[in-house]
Structures are given as C-alpha cells and as structure tokens.
Amino acid sequence: MLDALNAIFIAANIAAQTLNVVARADEDILIQKDVKVYAVSMTEQAPMWTDKCKYEGVMVEYARDWEEEQLSTGVILAPEPDKPIGYALILTKERCPEKEERAILNVGDSPSSPFFGRKHVLREGNPVDTRDFESMKEEYRPKWMPQVLRTIEAEAPNNPAAQHFLDEMRTRTAAAGVEAPLQAEPNPEEPNPTNAEPAQPLAEAEPAERAAEN
C-alpha cells in the first residue's frame, strides 16, 4: 500500500497538469461480478467542430470509509466501508490531435443513485468532471483516494486494468529517478503500522462523466 501511494503522489508531481477536464465515456462499461477496477477510455467534452482530446485511465468502486457531516443537519454519519456508493475515476493519459501523448493525473467520480440499482460503471456518452490531482489543496482531494489505491493494489494480481495502472505509476516514478518520501494513510481495518519497517523504494517496472446511471 505504501508503494502505491508513493507512486501516485510522485506521478502527480511529474505529470503534465491538465487542470479541469470534462470527459465522456467512449463506450458502456458493464459492472462485472467480483470486479472493482475497470479500464476506461474517454473523449473530451467540447464543441462538435473542434478536435477533441482522448483520455485513458481506470474506474474503481469505492465506499465511504470516512466520517461525513450532513451540512443541512450537522449530523455526523459513521463510515460505511461495506456499502459501495460509486466509482472513482483516475485519468492517466491524454492524447490530443497534433500533440504528443501526455502523462496526467486527473480525478473525479461517478456516484450511484441511492434510489435505483446500477448495471453500469459508466454509460457511453456520460460525462465526468475531473480535476488535476496535484493542483488541488489537500483538504479538497478526494477522501476515497487511499481506499481506491488499496483496491487497485489488491486486485492487481488478477485484474489487468489494475496491474497496468500500478505498472504505469511505478514506471513514472522510476523515470523521475527519485524516491517517494510520503507516507500512506493507514487502513483503519489494518493493524497500526507504527512499528512497521520503512517502505522500500519502488522497483522499476518492466516496459510495458459525473453522471450516474439510474
């Protein structure tokens, strides 16, 4: 888990910043049993007559594993880590006409409706608003990020989309020629890691839209 978080923060630091992107899904992504990480391809939402950028990344199921205050009542809601509430989106690549491919790190999410079942992670044409992760103040960064990275890391051995994401983050880190000093937030369900050994540097990898469905 430490390696995954270290890689994501370094990847954010060295990625080209694309501050705000509204992207639309290129195709339907059906929910699959026992799968939490999905590859996604998207196209920039822009006027019809313009050349549009293309994006790649992953969408990851998440639950609210943090306390949350209801602004209207002041009531503090307890975490519900076993109740999925949507899919996080992490875009990692941008391809624009007549420009070189860029590494980016934009984040957004597609929440689920509390009133209807959901059969798709995302429907073709659905837009998701995303923001550049590095440009966001820490207090505004998505609270699901540590959980989503744990999910990606756990699924990687049997999920090509998750493994590709980890490989890409580690390749970026290795290419930067730096070590990641940041610490991950502990999983509340795991033992206190205070006495754990420090995380080792990442090994070099081998080459290798907010609408919810009702």
pLDDT of the residue at 122: 94
pLDDT in tens, 4-38: 555 555 555 544 555 789 999 999 999 999 999 99
pTM of the model: 0.75
Average pLDDT for the chain: 80
Locate the domains of the chain by residue range.
2-176
State the Cα torsion 65-166-174-56 to the nearest 10°. -100
Report d(CA 145, CA 148) in Å as an integer: 5
Interval 82-97 mean pLDDT: 94
Q: Residue 42: CB partners within 8 Å, gap ≥ 6?
A: 23, 24, 25, 26, 54, 55, 56, 57, 91, 128, 209
pLDDT at 213 over 90: no
Confidence category of residue 196, pLDDT binned at 50, 70, 90: very low
